[in-house]
Structure 1
Amino acid sequence: MEEDGLTPSLQKTEIVVLTTKRIETCIQLNVEDEMIQTQKAVKHLGIYMDTKLTLWEHIQKAADKVVKTTTGLSRLMANVGGPKPSKRRLLMSVTTSILLYGTEIWADALRIDKYRRRMAGVQRLGVQRVACSYRTVSEPAVLVIAG
């Protein structure tokens, strides 16, 4: 890098060991007399990649972000006398976009029930707002009602 005139900023450097093997992934590396600790996950182009390539970290972070966004949008949409379902659907499309960002990369991870349940639980919050339903309505029913 020095031959090309590039110098890395060691304060901004993040290192993650990507492997499916059962080895220690939290290690310290010495780069130019400075110790850098490897991370459990790193964000690259909006996708969090963890050491075991399970993408659970990404699903958790995306779900948490969607919960915050849904909560904020829910304050705009009262259950009684609020916007019509078409406007509610439009507002909640924001959360769908956040939730589905980078699906081409992590879609295979949804084969695991734990990951799928986390995504479905978050989606349910938004769908309940679109359908103006209560928490007691079943998930399949509220998904059909909300369209």
Structure 2
Amino acid sequence: MKYLGLVLDSRWNFVEHFRRLAPKLERTGAALKRLLPNLGGPNASCRRLYAGIVRSMALYGAPVWAPNLMRRPARALLTSQRVMAIRVIRGYRTISGEAANLLAGLPPWDLEAKVLARVFSLRADACRRGETPLPRQISVWRDELRRDLMAEWQQRLSQPRAGLAVIAAVSPLFEEWLERRHGVLTYRLTQVLTGHGSFGRFLFLIGREETPGCHHCEDRPEDTVEHTVAVCPAWAEHRQVLRDVVGDGDLSRPALVQAMVRSERDWDAVSSFCEAVMLAKEEAGRVREQTSSRPSRRERHSGRRGSRDDLRPP
């Protein structure tokens, strides 16, 4: 039975509600994806606004179904959220939901549903006692529940299932990352933070390269984020410009994140480094594909000559 937009069943587990809701969220997310390209397109605030549209659809009726939310409906919520979080951070579609949500600063929707349900319950309890809670009191409840949500989110991030490297880099600065007032994520900055981009290791894993080695080094060491940022001699000049701003210390991902949240100047320095280096790597990759007569592993399996633009999510 459908009542006020919610599909009710005899067990009150709302599995059928989410079975019908999931395709709607998927269609809406797909439509919004076309408005949110990785390069260009709306700014970060607008992207978060679009993500909020899908969030509102997903969390409709949360005070009713959140107390009985089962694992399968929760997965449907987080799957839809992952799509929008990746759009917010301008990332590859291979990025995990946990990592994308953290970078985008979007708390998991199943936890947000619990907050909405709890606020509704507190208001209902007050009304049953003949009280009318003032807006100030409701705001206090929301702030307290929000703190509980953040604590539970942090607890989840202590045992991530995917996106381990980026979560390990950002989660120690959880509050600083979420509360910062400066810096936006770009397509190429997100590549460096996540490792999903023009790195030999990643391209090898998805079948776009024959080996994970670095094309800019004679001995062809594995091309990872750490190698690109801190070791590869091809980017020594860009690296020195970065060090002139953030200091001569460690250039690991945790150190980069620490510098980024420290000040807008440091954030811009890291972002500029990522933009210059990753753009050069992308251009070098396109040249290799154009001059190579040998199709990649992916092309051999698919039977077509692919484009490097395939790496960019639509």
Aligned length: 105
SS of the residue corresponding to residue 142 of structure 1 reads: helix
Task: Give the counterpart of 1:142 among 100, 122, 139.
Answer: 100
Higher RCO (Cα < 8 Å, 6 or more apart): 1
Cα displacement string for residues 21-63 of structure 1 (whole angstroms, at most 9, x for unaligned residues): xxxxxxxxxxxxxxxxxxxxx1101111123322111112222
Pairwise CA distance, 1:79: 1.5
Does residue 94 in structure 1 map to residue 56 in structure 2?
no
Q: 2:9 — aligned with what?
A: 50
Indicate the structure with greater helix content.
2
Q: 2:195 — aligned with what?
A: none
Task: Give the counterpart of 1:83 among 42, 47, 52.
Answer: 42
SS of the residue corresponding to residue 34 of structure 2 reads: helix
CA contact (8 A) 1:74 1:129 kept: yes
Indicate the structure with greater strand content.
1
**Unaligned 5+ residue runs, structure 1?**
1-41
Q: Is the radius of gyration larger for structure 1 or structure 2?
A: 2
Q: TM-score, normalised by structure 2?
A: 0.32
Q: 1:63 — aligned with what?
A: 22
Q: 1:128 — aligned with what?
A: 86
CA contact (8 A) 1:70 1:125 kept: yes
Q: Which moved more, 1:92-101 or 1:49-58?
A: 49-58
Equivalent residue runs for 1:111-126 within 5 Å: 112-126=70-84
Cα displacement string for residues 53-96 of structure 1 (whole angstroms, at most 9, x for unaligned residues): 22111112222211111111111111211111111111121100
The whole-number CA distance in structure 1 between the counterparts of 2:96 and 2:34 is 23
Equivalent residue runs for 1:2-81 within 5 Å: 42-81=1-40
CA contact (8 A) 1:130 1:146 kept: yes
State the one-letter code of the partner of 1:47: L
CA contact (8 A) 1:109 1:115 kept: no
Does residue 108 in structure 1 map to residue 67 in structure 2?
yes
CA RMSD of aligned residues (A): 1.3
CA contact (8 A) 2:28 2:54 kept: yes
The whole-number CA distance in structure 2 between the counterparts of 1:135 and 1:78 is 12
Sequence identity of aligned pairs in percent? 37
SS of the residue corresponding to residue 103 of structure 2 reads: helix
State the one-letter code of the partner of 1:135: R
